[in-house]
Amino acid sequence: MRHFSPIDLKTYLDTGKQPLLLDVREPWEFEICQIEGSQLLPMRQIPAKTETIDPHQEIVVICHHGIRSRQVGYFLERTGFTQVINLTGGLEAWAREVDNKMPTY
């Protein structure tokens, strides 16, 4: 699994890359803030929904602080996903380093 800082991810997205931005937080968290274009799939639903995700697609896993996303990333790798990236520091770091107008909680 690769790890991107918020600045790394912003720079990567600015090049036109379009990975799946997989937000693994809970719906109430997603309502507060999100990276534009991200898709919500709460962590607890991942095992039952992996067949809905292309295992060869580049996936950036996102959560609040980067802990749940790292766990999901490891799970995805163990189940055959080959291009997984964890957003280190999660949306909390994204709000501090990239988008200081993003609500935090």
Active site residues: 63
- Residue pair 23/64 in contact by the 8 Å Cβ criterion: no
What is the rounded CA–CA span in Å between residue 20 and residue 3?
A: 15
Tell me how long the chain is.
Answer: 105
Cα angle 43, 35, 2 (rounded to 5 degrees) comes to 65
